[in-house]
Amino acid sequence: MSDNMRYEIGCALADSKRHSFLQPSLVELAKSRGIYLVPVDSTKRLVDQGPFDAILHKLSDKQWNDQLREYRAKYPHVTVIDPLEAIERLHNRISMLRAVQELKITEGNETFEVPRQNVVEKYEELTDLKILEGLKFPVIAKPLVANGTAISHSMSLVFNSKGLKTLKPPLVLQEFVNHGGVIFKVYVVGDFVKCVKRNSLPDVSDEKMKNSVEGFILFSQISNLTAENYDEGREIEQAELPPARFIEDLASGLREVLGLRLFNFDLIRSSEARNRYFVIDINYFPGYNKMPGYEAILTDFFWNLCHEHQKISGREVALGGREIDDKVASELEKDIVNDEEKKVAFTVDIGKESNVDDRVSIVATVIK
Ligand SMILES: Nc1ncnc2c1ncn2[C@@H]1O[C@H](COP(=O)(O)OP(=O)(O)OP(=O)(O)O)[C@@H](O)[C@H]1O
Ligand SMILES: O=P(O)(O)O[C@H]1[C@H](OP(=O)(O)O)[C@@H](OP(=O)(O)O)[C@@H](O)[C@@H](O)[C@@H]1OP(=O)(O)O
Ligand SMILES: [Mg+2]
Ligand SMILES: [Mg+2]
């Protein structure tokens, strides 16, 4: 690819996300390497903008999904970060955590699981203690849908059946795991993985449960509270990070199962068994700007997207960020002709077992 390359990424983000993510420091750094981060104009149709080499998005309404599908039909070579269908899975807290159960990682000294949980569809189910089947108080009631709205983050820590009656289904009742008030957030950006410590809910003692008059406590986005406005800040400093190897394995396993490149997940460590971990939440395209040096990390990710090369028939080929398997490679071979720099756009069938669309468009740039 030539030095004066221009790789244009259309960024479809809500206003607040645009401000927090597309900071001038990121936009300028990316630009200095030929990557242009262009906000998508929500007042215009997407197909009338660009054309973009890639689209980065965190919008999930039907109107946006339709626009993106229309765009892909017109520009089949566009790289979409990440595929709609893969993101969709994270919008439901049950399908989200099922991904953890699908992981095929050989466990070492550290183990991982998800807390026991049940779905409650209707209010009437809350008056029948059968809903607790297999669960012990305290439980956390989480809205079933995790779609980025304030409501989807509003939760209750419930101590007894009186507390249960205050809830509004559809929701997930998830067993609360005592974990020492510290949560680990693992940020994934393609191959890059970073684990940080944050505030979490403090442990719940039997005494606290007994003394609760209301039977529940409401809370929201507790891990976003800084040490200054949260009095348990000291615990964070003292907490030891989980082993790097364990975190790397979990992150790469989830990246594969989910078919996502931009996400983070929340991990807690049991107060009782120090090698027992629970994954409690997975978020698409989280607040990366809170990671020190996020500009360089994201710019490297974008750079790799447009420079990912693969040798096919002895020729160096850039695949616009697509990871391809042998079957796709052999299809590509048929299309790569003898010319110098050539773009070949085509659609291949990658089969049902994949986590992404059945049919994937690829632009292969033959480099040498
Ligand atoms: N099973 C659990 N046991 C103990 N604490 C939990 C559990 N589930 C959630 N928490 C606490 O509640 C917080 C919010 O839960 P969760 O992460 O599922 O919500 P969220 O609104 O999706 O968070 P985010 O802001 O990361 O998207 C967690 O950060 C953690 O402090
Ligand atoms: O706003 P913040 O920077 O805190 O980022 C949060 C992000 O909100 P945003 O996408 O509007 O930025 C949230 O997305 P939605 O669930 O609401 O879609 C979710 O991903 C949180 O986990 C992120 O916090 P973090 O996990 O990084 O601490
Ligand atoms: Mg969370
Ligand atoms: Mg979440």
**Nearest-angstrom CA–CA distance, 164 and 157:** 10
Tokens standing for residue 346: 């085509």
Closest ligand to 279 CA?
A: 1
pLDDT of residue 246: 97
**Nearest-angstrom CA–CA distance, 368 and 363:** 15
Sign of CA dihedral 77, 79, 80, 82: positive
Pairing state of beta strands 111-113 and 216-220? unpaired
pLDDT of residue 349: 43
Could you give the percent of the chain with pLDDT greater than 90?
66
Between 360 and 76, where is the model more confident? 76
Taking CA atoms only, the protein residue closest to ligand 2 atom 16 is 148
pLDDT of residue 107: 78
Q: Is 287 annotated as a binding residue?
A: yes
Closest ligand to 285 CA?
A: 2
320 lines ligand 2 (CB under 6 A): no
Mean pLDDT of 120-146: 91
Q: Is 21 annotated as a binding residue?
A: no
Q: Which pTM value belongs to this model?
A: 0.87
CA of 85 to the centre of ligand 4 (A): 18
Q: What is the largest CA-CA distance in the chain?
A: 78
In this structure, the number of other CB atoms found within 10 A of the CB of residue 17 comes to 17
| The residue to which tokens 């949560």 are assigned | 183
Q: What is the pLDDT of residues 36-66, one digit of tens each?
A: 999 999 999 999 999 998 999 999 899 999 9
Q: Which atom of ligand 2 is nearest to the CA of 14?
A: 11
Q: Are 94 and 115 in contact (CB under 8 A)?
A: no
**Nearest-angstrom CA–CA distance, 199 and 221:** 10
Q: Could you list which residues have their CB under 5 Å from ion ligand 3?
A: 266, 281
Q: Is 238 annotated as a binding residue?
A: no
**C-alpha angle 310/315/318, rounded to 5°?**
40
Closest CA to 344 of 352, 353, 357, 322: 322
Which residues, at least 6 apart from 354, have a Cβ–Cβ distance to it below 8 Å? 259
153 lines ligand 1 (CB under 6 A): yes
Lowest model confidence (mean pLDDT) among 126-135, 191-200, 358-367: 358-367
Query: Bridge partners of 282?
Result: 265
Coil, strand or helix: which one is 245?
helix
